[in-house]
Structure 1
């Protein structure tokens, strides 16, 4: 257990926060710090074909140790952390034999990790938890995944009696800002399929996610002295408000669950002369996804008739539901499920209410379901990960490699 704790802490204490305002890849220079460390560790443990490209994408191979043809399977995680919360000076706390009660993260600031609010904590009584100190995120998303992949590869190298085919490993930058797969070289990676180790609680196994688009609506107004504005002023703020008010009021994140889609306005800025709305559109159904985009277009078209075409709409598709690409090769999900069953983990198969690098990779020709990394409460100060969940993720990876060698 201590080895996996040490490895995880060595990763999370390196700040790798990504930056959506940057056009570079990686978006922050500090991501290189962990990337270079990972390359050195991969080489030192004996992995083959270790490489890092000009954009910090890391790849490595564990060669096959069987003499028959075996599918090549990959495991992928990202090393950046979310821009939503600070990842600087991460100071983790290791809570051994968790007693099921409140955990004080920061006494002076009164920051408490409580099972009364985060009820998932109750299932980890008696386990070893790694938490934040209440001032930063932890970085288990997705340095837990990296820890698990690295540990599994080291275990396989040290236990050649476990038979497996060629195993590919990939670590990416900038997943948290939606670019983790953008420059991933699927052909170079060379796997028949892969798994992202980027899920949350132990047992998660996901092969479907939202279809996603972003929408940017700009409204151009006309400012005139309010005392003489009749028939002349065009108030961009009020038009923007009408657009938002025209959206279905119950189809928002806080009122939807499971496979229900939504519209989410996440930014509204403006003045009389200019207003801007930014939103995201999500739905698991491709047909409903397309209908949602049409709803936005119809709202804008109708209002434009009365606003002298002052409104401009830009919709961009971001990613699609990977189920479309995974179902034709569904045995890759069944192998992961069998691996979990074999190591005593109950599979939790459910749709992702979000996206994943696996979605983009699946549409790039690399079918890629998502497997748990073990953490909870990502992107904030209440993030934590049970060490036993990371250990089980390592066992799942090893078992997938073993099973794949005999399912060709």
Structure 2
């Protein structure tokens, strides 16, 4: 394929190849690392750990998701770098950024740097945080007993002290390098960093000094959030917090008990009111298909009733996450009869939310790459 177009953006470099029309596109960050590529059938996404993730559809239209093996990833990296070499003259000064890499350096060397910066892998983020700078203010989750969740089973909950956090921030800055230009905000991980008390403020200050002007987001659990006052959330907003993602999962108290998640969804309106009074944007996550067919109607009805009573604005978003049982979890072992057509169920929820005047978006955890 011949080079059709080169785009030099402040945060990226984009190469487009084809014959009569564009058939392949590759995007590089300003460190010269490929972070996204696609052709007519396949898309590849590179994580900061150097791993390469493939996305495509089979002939029946079914979505295929795969983390490539080292050998397969090296082959794809080789193809990408060979194409970039053919575009050397058109790349100009940016050729040096891109062509300094080898496939092995992209996988092995960057993987080692990632593991030096992140003691534990970044397990999950809300979709609008995929291009944030993730900083692990805490490890793990304060509860970590939900039957459906396997994100933090490999680590205990642990707070990070300011000195350790500062060293972590510098390692992340070094890993990102000029690739930081692609990153929009800062996400405080892991699962429940906002459960911290006064200890969170020096961490916010360290993050603000390292990444000035970038808004902060984080996960929050209902049972932790209800322990804080409106004034508390206003203080955090004053130190850069802008967005909060809450795993509501369902508006049905019985289903929440089945999922072994503490709290009661009927307490959510009070938390939402406090967060909105502080000027924060909300991302509310619901597990569509949770509990399977036995809970289908109660889950839908109670969740809609709950959402209809919340004081949400146009800046807020409801995430609809398809229930994908994780092998080895208590939920998978319980094996409730699944909803017969999960895609149709997702569409039903989305239509109902639009009728309520709410913004909704799909959140498929299988698409996550950081």
Range into which the TM-score falls when normalised by the shorter chain: under 0.3
Larger-Rg structure: 1
Q: Which structure has more RCO (C-alpha within 8 Å, separation ≥ 6)?
A: 1
- Higher helix share goes to which structure? 2
Q: If the length of structure 2 is used for normalisation, what is the TM-score? A: 0.27
